[in-house]
Structure 1
Amino acid sequence: MTEAAGVGTLVRLGARVDRVLVPVCALGLAVLVAGSARATLALYPGPDGANRALAALGPTLDNPALLSFYGPLSGTGLGALATFKTVLLGAVLLAVLAQVVVRRHTRAEEEAGRLELVAAGRVGRTAPLVAALVLGTATVLMTAALGAAGAAVTGLEPAGSLALGAAWATAGLVWVGLTAVAAQLCTTARATTALSLGALAVAFAARAVGDAVPGASWLTWLSPLGWSEHVAPFGADRWGPLALGVVSWAVLGIMALRLQQGRDLGAGLVTPAPGPATGALRSPLQLTLRLARGPVALWGVAFVLLGLLVAGLASSVGAFVDSPETARLLAELGGSQGSLVDTFYATELGVAAAAAAALGVSLVLRAPAEEASGRAELLLAGTGARSRWLAGQVAVALAAPLLVLTLLGVAAGVVDALRTGDGTAAVARLVAAAVATVPAAWVCVGAAVLVVGAAPRAAGAAWAVLVAAVVVGTFGAALGLQDAVVALSPFGHLPHLPGGTAGVVGTLALVVVTTGLVAIGLLAGRRRDLRTG
């Protein structure tokens, strides 16, 4: 039997496991591109649309804060404007998706003990890792192809659309290999995620500094996200950066295979140090809080930085005043009824609410991971009741979006107060606007609770629900979807804040829906057996 025996079987098994998550996420990213491009083309029609758009948006696109977040404009045509946000954003999201796929088929399977059972059959030692690399690579290529198709179907140039797919694939391939290496170094899926996404954060920071700080552009070449940016879709349409991504993917994949040979099954090359033998955990809730404090703290820092960035960009929104098309687009996305600055804040808070929902969903999905690893069974063998344990997981997942969005509102409010001189009124106004988006995030968390409670083996479907909700609620109007369809998404009911009405009825409806989803999920989780292995 060869080292790679059984790869085909494992690939088919993994494809079946990912049959919901990967297609929905890939289609969601394609719709993201198509919706953004379609909205831009509708706002600036005609042969002189690019010139009018550049005249209206030029000053804002040179803002250092905007450059650090989205990178520079890749060209002077309407295609570059139509995909300005989605080039880098899509690359980041595809890197995250690649990380999820590779991690779940390597370290997560190993941690749960299923990989040991698989290895007992006619499967070579390297087959599971090779299968994970194949699945991750296929996910990246499929998503990149769908992204290119999404741009092309809106009428954008085929060459630029292909370059957009290449930009996404550049980052995605790197994180396929990088996550495979992280899975060999770490002993848990949680640590693998932290290492892989930590590298993504460093890459984003290096690229941001390179784009925003004069004379530091060389830093973008040290970041795979910078390589994606240098593809310049609908501009130079370079393919050289994709070669860097492919080479990195190959080198990291070979490195992961070599590292796997030097460790035992279930172990990692980096042994975690035991924590201090201090403190006491008197309840399952205390344990959940202790395990969640690290990720929530990191997300909190990220949201504070996002709040500072959004408030910094608000100072340059005045450049949009002479562009009624852009004002209409912001109003469509943000739904604000106040000033143009209020509309901008409402739009960005909607994006932040979707990110906060992702945090809540990730915390809920820790519960089935704890069950599969056997740790929940050991915990509940004591005095802890299953309903209390699962309720504690849900409580933390619901509190986390509220916390991080409040921090965002405070950070943005402080900067806005310094800009306008409104003092505490500015802080209170933006904190209220940020907190008002929390119920929309809670509905997605409630949907995840329902999935975990009723069908923990299909926990990945919670991510598919989140992606569908964000795409429909945020881009439904731009895609021409009927109001009844948009209303199915909680993000289609975001309040018109700041500057407009709070939408009390809609907010209460979201809270009621969340309560119902959580109650049904907790009841279902209490009535079923623990999922082990």
Structure 2
Amino acid sequence: MNSLTGTRQLVRLALRRDRVVVPIWVVLLGILPPVMASTYEQFYPDAADRATLTAGTAANPSIALLYGPAFDLSTAGGFTAWRLGVFLALFVALGCVFTVVRHTRQEEDTGRQELLSSGVTGRYAALTAALLVSGAAALVTGLIAMATLLAAGQPAAGSIAFGLGVTLAGWVFSGVAAVCAQLVEYSRTANGLASAVLGVAFLLRGVGDSASGMRWLSWLSPLGWTSQLRPFAGERWAVALLPLAAAVLLTGLAYWLLPRRDVGLSIFPSRLGPATAAPGLRSPFALAWRLQRGMLTGWVVGFAVAGVLFGSLANGIGGLVGDSAQVRQIFERMGGASALVDAYLASIAGIFGMVAALYAVQANLRMRTEETAVRLEPLLATRVRRLRWAASHLVFSLLGSALLLAVGGTAAGVAHGLRAGDVGTHIPPVLGATFAQLPAVWVVAGISVLLFGFAPKLATASWSVASLSLAIALYGPVLRLPQAVLDVSPFTHVPKLPNAALTATPLLWLTGIALVALIVGLRGFRQRDIG
């Protein structure tokens, strides 16, 4: 037996386990570029509109903080690379992080990896299989993006560079996740650490692209390298060597660290706790707080930073859309308001709601992690009741998402108010717009509890539900999808505050649906077998 024995079988197992989630995000992300390219021709049909867009973007550095540098907005390809390049690389990187950690550190958390290692499985087989699956997912996403751009009539060189940038970003953060899986002991910590590295990379790129005299910061970020490839704007192929080298070095570091720890342990071992629990840790809620607090803290910080960034862009949104009446109509359709700034704020509030739904799903899936790790069954052997234990985690799913919306809305309102010169009058409208998303967030959370209660093996499909809701609400209005399709997403039914009329009926309906899903899901959990 060599150190890679069993890799092929573990790859097949990983593909089988991810047969729903990975194809969904690969296809959805891969088909977005040609859609954006086609909308460019519609919204900016002549040279005057494109010149106005270019001038407005160049005069507003805060827009570069969000999207990156606009190298060439005179073509559909250049516009697509600017609007989607960084964010597509960001989402692919995030998917690769979760995939690698899921098939490495999470397998050790549950004890399955130790069982596999006791058989005919090499020391490096699990890590190699995880990297192959995540790397293949990033590669397929890049190939789909490239092929669809070519099919849409875009230049071959730019299409190849665009797909290459997306793929290499995924490979770099696959390596980051692999290293994090060796450094820390639990999968939630590894996911959080790798996501934090991704967040820092986004901030470095944003500051470097928007602040004069600090361009060098963008070159420290793998997401900045994606922009600096310059698809459709005089491609610089040598830049691709940077993410390729980083991916190789990070992967090599992960392989070097792996044999220097035992299965189930980490390079940085967890600190031993006291022999007896503190009085404040003797309840299901206290245990849930201990398990959820790190993740919640990271999300709160992320929402605060995002709120400041998005809020600071509100007053400059006019420079992003230029004088194109069609683009203004799209923003107003997304925001449901006649005023462009209010429409933008409504769109940002919707994005906050969709991202908060992802947190709610992650918090709920913590229950499934505790169950599969065989930590729940001994707990239920005591006087702890199932519903009391589940309710302790739902507090973080339901109220934690409300806290995120409050932090994001407040931060955005303060940043917008500071730019506008009047903080007091801008915070309440933005905060109300974000809080209006809460019933829709709870619907997604309720569906995840429903899956956990009746089909625990399909609990991870909650990610697909949240992603589908996000994709429909985010891109449906731009693509003019039929209303029946838009209605699938709970976020479609949320009043588009701050300028739209507040109607309580859809919010009450969404809250009722969420409540029914929660009650039915908890009933299923109460009646089914554990494990």
Question: Normalising by structure 1, what TM-score?
Answer: 0.93
Cα gap change, 1:290 to 1:150, in 2 (>3 Å): farther
Whole-Å Cα distance in 2 between the matches of residues 519 and 32 of structure 1?
A: 37
Cα deviation, 1:228-267, whole Å, max 9, x if unaligned, reads 1111222122332333222222222222222211221111
2:55 equivalent in structure 1:
58
3-state SS of 1:73 partner: coil
Whole-Å Cα distance in 2 between the matches of residues 318 and 155 of structure 1?
A: 30
Instruction: Give yes or no for the alignment of 1:328 onto 2:312.
Output: no
Identity in percent: 35
Displacement of 1:421 after TM fit? Answer: 5.4
- In angstroms, what is the RMSD of aligned CA positions? 2.0
Displacement of 1:98 after TM fit? Answer: 0.4
| Matching of residues 368-383 of structure 1 within 5 Å | 368-383=368-383
Cα deviation, 1:53-91, whole Å, max 9, x if unaligned, reads 341353245433322222111323232223422110111
| Matching of residues 112-131 of structure 1 within 5 Å | 112-131=110-129
Cα gap change, 1:20 to 1:349, in 2 (>3 Å): same
**Partner letter of residue 298 of structure 1?**
G
Deviates more, 1:206-215 or 1:319-328: 319-328
1:217 equivalent in structure 2:
215
Report how many residues are paired. Answer: 527
Cα gap change, 1:62 to 1:21, in 2 (>3 Å): farther
Equivalent residues of 1:35, 1:475 under 8 A apart: no
3-state SS of 1:74 partner: coil
Equivalent residues of 1:444, 1:465 under 8 A apart: yes
| Matching of residues 153-302 of structure 1 within 5 Å | 153-274=151-272, 278=278, 280-302=280-302
Displacement of 1:154 after TM fit? Answer: 4.0
Equivalent residues of 2:188, 2:295 under 8 A apart: no
**Partner letter of residue 331 of structure 1?**
E
1:353 equivalent in structure 2:
353
1:30 equivalent in structure 2:
30
Cα gap change, 1:494 to 1:230, in 2 (>3 Å): same
3-state SS of 1:130 partner: helix
Whole-Å Cα distance in 2 between the matches of residues 321 and 182 of structure 1?
A: 43
| Matching of residues 65-76 of structure 1 within 5 Å | 65-76=62-73
Equivalent residues of 2:11, 2:129 under 8 A apart: yes
Cα gap change, 1:419 to 1:193, in 2 (>3 Å): closer
Equivalent residues of 1:32, 1:471 under 8 A apart: no
Displacement of 1:150 after TM fit? Answer: 4.0
2:426 equivalent in structure 1:
426
**Partner letter of residue 179 of structure 1?**
A
Whole-Å Cα distance in 2 between the matches of residues 122 and 414 of structure 1?
A: 58
Equivalent residues of 1:170, 1:241 under 8 A apart: no
Equivalent residues of 1:169, 1:242 under 8 A apart: no
1:364 equivalent in structure 2:
364
Cα gap change, 1:419 to 1:189, in 2 (>3 Å): closer
1:21 equivalent in structure 2:
21
Whole-Å Cα distance in 2 between the matches of residues 2 and 56 of structure 1?
A: 58
Correspondent of 1:142 among 140, 147, 156: 140
Instruction: Give yes or no for the alignment of 1:85 onto 2:83.
Output: yes
2:515 equivalent in structure 1:
515
Displacement of 1:153 after TM fit? Answer: 4.2
**Partner letter of residue 296 of structure 2?**
V
3-state SS of 2:479 partner: coil
Instruction: Give yes or no for the alignment of 1:451 onto 2:463.
Output: no
1:108 equivalent in structure 2:
106
Equivalent residues of 2:303, 2:407 under 8 A apart: yes
Equivalent residues of 2:349, 2:430 under 8 A apart: no
Whole-Å Cα distance in 1 between the matches of residues 265 and 122 of structure 2?
A: 18
Cα gap change, 1:221 to 1:393, in 2 (>3 Å): same
**Partner letter of residue 229 of structure 2?**
V
Whole-Å Cα distance in 1 between the matches of residues 156 and 490 of structure 2?
A: 35
Displacement of 1:130 after TM fit? Answer: 1.1
Instruction: Give yes or no for the alignment of 1:505 onto 2:505.
Output: yes
Whole-Å Cα distance in 1 between the matches of residues 151 and 501 of structure 2?
A: 37
Deviates more, 1:205-214 or 1:145-154: 145-154
Displacement of 1:422 after TM fit? Answer: 5.3
**Partner letter of residue 326 of structure 1?**
V
Whole-Å Cα distance in 2 between the matches of residues 317 and 57 of structure 1?
A: 13
Whole-Å Cα distance in 2 between the matches of residues 142 and 195 of structure 1?
A: 26
Cα deviation, 1:389-442, whole Å, max 9, x if unaligned, reads 112212211112211111222222233344445553422111111101122222
Whole-Å Cα distance in 2 between the matches of residues 159 and 313 of structure 1?
A: 32
Cα gap change, 1:442 to 1:238, in 2 (>3 Å): farther
Cα deviation, 1:344-393, whole Å, max 9, x if unaligned, reads 11112222211111111111111111111122223323221111111221
Displacement of 1:222 after TM fit? Answer: 1.6
Cα gap change, 1:519 to 1:36, in 2 (>3 Å): farther
Displacement of 1:456 after TM fit? Answer: 2.1
Q: Which runs of 5+ in 1 are unaligned?
A: none
Deviates more, 1:471-480 or 1:485-494: 471-480
Equivalent residues of 1:11, 1:131 under 8 A apart: yes
Question: Normalising by structure 2, what TM-score?
Answer: 0.94
3-state SS of 1:316 partner: helix
Cα deviation, 1:472-514, whole Å, max 9, x if unaligned, reads 2221233342111111111222312111122322222221221
Displacement of 1:123 after TM fit? Answer: 1.6
Whole-Å Cα distance in 1 between the matches of residues 106 and 267 of structure 2?
A: 16
Equivalent residues of 1:102, 1:133 under 8 A apart: yes
Cα gap change, 1:73 to 1:528, in 2 (>3 Å): same
Displacement of 1:224 after TM fit? Answer: 1.1
